[in-house]
Amino acid sequence: MQFEIIGTGAIGLLFAAKLKVAGYAVRLWATSTERSILFCERGITYYSPAGEVQSVTGLTSLALSQHVENELAITDSSPYIQAREGVEDSSLKYILLAVKQSHLDEALLLDISKLVTSRSSYSAVIAIQNGCGHIDRLAQHINIPIITAVTSEASKRIETAAISHTGQGETWIGDELGRDNGSVQQKNIENALQKAGFKVFMSKNIKERVYRKLISNAVVNPLTALFDVTNGDLPNTKSRLKLMESLFLESKRILMAEEPALASSSFNDILSLCRATASNTSSMRADLLAGVKTEIAYINGAIVAIAARHQMSAPLNESIVHMIEALHPDQ
């Protein structure tokens, strides 16, 4: 079984490192030739939750934008194709898409489409993104199964090719589009990720899992970014705690219009998340500190869009979107 990972951020490198250690063939699609050479030469330095350090080598890497056209020229004798003995059917190939939604633009979607329609036979695309909307956009470009993945694994990139696995979580996978007949691809993916050390579960209603994480992201990400605090510091004042709860209740009310099962979600879930990831910097805060565009349009903006679809109001989410976008770098 082989995995092509598009996205070399903290989550993409986490899955790449653990899948490689488990014996699967892994190819990283990097954003530049320089990065692809770095991954080929140095591999990935992986710091476990216990603080142990492991050098993961033997990866293959290419620069996506420069080499996607050459996919047809990659032969089956490529080092990438040679999975270790004892691993399942090596003819199975999966694309694991681990880029942020803000990077999933038309150019990248076109590159993914070219990969999928090349002579290489891909079994499915696994999409690990925050927020909503990406599955529908992917579905317009590719016709193979698209498996939605929702993860609470925590990873922090220390250097370009070094990550710290800061917290173990759970990963849920499911088929929103109904393309995975008999759940064959999901079962393969579940088995592979479990062998790589992840806690993985198949969901018959993955949309509920997506929305549960969306609520958490809609509260924690923008507010830690606005107040420039860690996840653990966010609830430490009465005023911030009140704002958190108000944003949670509005988001839950809106999303319940599509997923009534969210009635069981609790504000304590948000507080537990903040405690469990106390020292973490949210991705949205990290983006603002780095001076780059955030995923606000696909998180709180998605909730605003869902509210409009059901003729509901979303004043807090609308305000949050405007405030975060006002902090984006000038285009």
The single residue listed with the structure tokens 């990400």 is: 221
Given strand 154-159, what is the order of strands in its sheet?
Answer: 53-56, 44-47, 162-167, 154-159
- Which uninterrupted H or E stretch holds 168? none
Q: What is the pLDDT of residues 196-255, one digit of tens each?
A: 999 999 999 999 999 999 999 999 999 999 999 999 999 999 999 999 999 999 999 999
DSSP H or E stretch at residue 323: helix 315-326
Q: How far is CA 89 from CA 48, 62, 82, in A?
A: 29, 24, 11
Q: How far is CA 33 from CA 44, 87, 99, 135, 255, in A?
A: 16, 30, 18, 28, 42
Tell me how many degrees the CA angle 216-221-227 measures, rounded to the nearest 5: 130
DSSP string, 77-137: TSGGG-PPTTSS-TT-EEEEE---GGG--HHHHHHHHHHHTSSS---EEEE--SSSSHHHH
Say if CB 179 and CB 145 are below 8 A apart. yes
Q: Who's near 145: CB < 8 A, 6+ residues apart?
A: 123, 124, 125, 175, 177, 179, 180, 185
CATH superfamily of 207-326: N-(1-d-carboxylethyl)-l-norvaline Dehydrogenase; domain 2 (1.10.1040.10)
CATH number of 2-204: 3.40.50.720
Closest by Cα among 130, 153, 154 to 230: 154
- Per run of 10 residues, the mean pLDDT along the chain (length 331 residues) is 94 97 94 90 94 94 72 43 41 92 90 80 93 93 95 92 93 96 96 97 95 97 97 97 98 97 96 91 93 95 97 98 94 59
Model pLDDT, residue 121:
84
- pLDDT, position 87: 40
Domain ranges of the chain: 2-204, 207-326
Fold agreement (2-204, 207-326):
no
User: Whole-prediction pTM value?
Assistant: 0.89
In sign, the C-alpha dihedral spanning 97, 99, 102, 108 is: negative
